[in-house]
Amino acid sequence: MKQQNGGTLKGLVLDLRGNPGGLLEQAIQVSDAFVEEGVIVTTVGVNGTLREPKLARNDGGEREFPMAVLISSESSSASEIVAGALKNLNRAIIVGRQSFGKGSVQVLYDFKDRENGDESALKLTIAQYLTPGDMSIQEVGITPDIELVPARIVKDRIDLWAPPKTFREADYDKHFFNGFAHDEEQARAGREKVSTKPSETLRFVKEETVKERKNRELIESGQQPEDDVNDDDPSDDDGVQVDYQIEFCRDLLMQATSTDRRQQLTQAKPFVEQRRAGEQEKARKALEAMGVNWSPSPANAPKGQARVQAEIRVPRTQAGGTMEMSITAHNTGTQPIYRLRAWTKSEDSVLDRREFVFGQIAPGEKRTWTVPIKIPRYLPSRRDDITVKWEDEAGDPIDDARAESDIAELPRPAFAWSWQVISADGLLHKGEKGETTEIVVDVKNVGTGQAFDAYAALHNLSEDKVNVRKGRTKLGPLKPGESRSATFVLEVKKPLDESVPVRLEVGDKDLYEAQRDKLLLPSGPAVPATGAPGNVRVQVDTAILVSALESAEKIATVKKGAVLPAHGKAGPFWR
């Protein structure tokens, strides 16, 4: 990078956002490239034994330029080791969001059942790691020096004031306590020891691209987002995507004159204040373009006078529909209220942290804000309490308002299926190299509700016997009573003398409905095919088998006298 930049660097931004981690040794090597002394990380056994500190080496050139490290709530494990080392050794300023908080070390053991081919694995936690200063980040994560929180201001969705929502290590059930504490009390003490607050917090208004907006709407409705969401984002000459966070760090480093994190933070204050003022002005213009009076309060405006009465409308909505949630704010006090806003708190994540904006309201005046909320199709019937939190510019205490939601689930599909091996004898058998056999599965929706995005998938449980060349088929919408066929392609790797286990899964991606069954595909040496197509009259009550073997599974019985169309013979059997 120095050579590409004419032999010098004015600064370096290390972007670890979304980095789930990797190998411990690589994290140590990356950190060591930028620090000349100190403990990078210490691994400690579960019982506090086997401490192994990893020390930095002074190879020269580690502090030639200032650094910033970008992290997010998805930055985890090894990436947290790097961020924690560069922060605690005062080498880099940390920017972004609180990281994931995974401070444990695992090894993976793989197992395979020799009888049925089922695979399993055991992930065993063997140690914890401590950042410099013996700080356990388990449950806590790395706190950024400058917290950057993206905000959104569009008519149908505002995210500007509510506490940001993330999913981190501490949100998992049965997660390890901080420092591998044995109970919550010990863990709380450990968290308090290492928990800090960002020196600065800045919310920035992020303008959505067309694809980002479409993907947000897909996610909010419970569907899969499209790939390549950032195709239309600007990039620099090296192909690096340049977003607000990257630009912020670049401009921050351009005015830095020190490689010491503490001095960088002091120098950064005027820069952050300037950016904050710019973002606040951007938010004001966006809100006023929506018809909201976002004027600030006069300097002499009295405080503690805000009185708000709320009218909340939460109509009963069926999953897959749009709930038009509206809140009317009535100023029942004697003074104007400035920059009034509200946000919801609910156990239902779809309804949680929805924001409502009212702006300036004169005494006696009412203002209403409506938020359209797309209810995902997969949601079951449920009722949830909704608490409305209020804020105004003066920070006056305003009583919470409460309501209840009522969501009705969609009728669910259910699937039935039949399958067959497409060969003359109904068997899988070894062919020439590259030769394949088709498995056809007929799927029927026997439920009361529609499947919106049905699929069928075949999972191999015997990798030493067959390869699944085509293992997934999109079936699409399936109304109750409708049927569709899925075709899978298998290649037999070696001669077979017993059935081949596979797992069939049929489901609906939109509704998160899935049914699974283990199939035993009949196999064996090929049975010679003879005869020509025609009709066969059954002479006695006869069993119908899945393949041309006496030992094959019986699937039906045909009565004497029935006439069946036949494709030919396989050994003594009609097909």
Residues 139 and 262 in one domain: yes
**Conformational region of residue 262, where left means phi above 0, alpha means psi within -120 to 50, and beta covers everything else:** alpha
Residues 182 and 83 in one domain: yes
Structural domain ending residue among the three candidates 289, 318, 352: 289
Residues 415 and 397 in one domain: no
- Number of structural domains (the chain) is 4
**Residue 61: CB atoms within 10 Å:** 11
User: Amino acid identity, residue 559?
Assistant: K
Residues 90 and 231 in one domain: yes
Structural domain ending residue among the three candidates 377, 408, 439: 408
Residues 436 and 377 in one domain: no
Residues 238 and 375 in one domain: no
CA 296 to chain centre: 38
Residues 65 and 209 in one domain: yes
Structural domain ending residue among the three candidates 408, 436, 462: 408
Residues 234 and 85 in one domain: yes
Q: How far apart are CA 191 and CA 187, in angstroms?
A: 6
Q: How far apart are CA 179 and CA 175, in angstroms?
A: 12
Residues 335 and 429 in one domain: no
**Residue 37: CB atoms within 10 Å:** 10
Residues 402 and 423 in one domain: no
Residue 121 lies in a domain: no
Q: What is the pLDDT of residue 232?
A: 41
Residue 20 is part of which domain span? 12-101+129-289
The 3-state DSSP class for residue 130 equals strand
Q: What is the pLDDT along the chain (575 residues), one digit of tens a residue?
A: 777 777 788 899 999 999 999 888 999 999 999 999 999 999 998 777 788 999 999 887 778 899 999 999 999 999 999 999 999 999 999 999 999 999 888 888 988 877 666 788 998 888 888 899 888 888 889 999 999 999 999 888 999 999 888 888 878 887 877 766 777 787 777 777 777 899 999 999 987 667 776 776 676 666 666 765 444 444 444 556 778 999 999 999 999 999 999 999 999 999 999 999 999 999 999 999 999 999 999 988 888 889 999 999 999 999 999 999 999 999 999 999 999 999 999 999 999 999 999 999 999 999 999 999 999 999 999 999 999 999 999 999 999 999 999 999 999 999 999 999 998 888 888 776 778 899 999 999 999 999 999 999 999 988 778 899 999 999 999 999 999 999 999 998 888 777 889 999 999 999 999 999 999 998 888 888 887 888 999 999 999 988 888 888 888 899 999 999 988 888 888 88
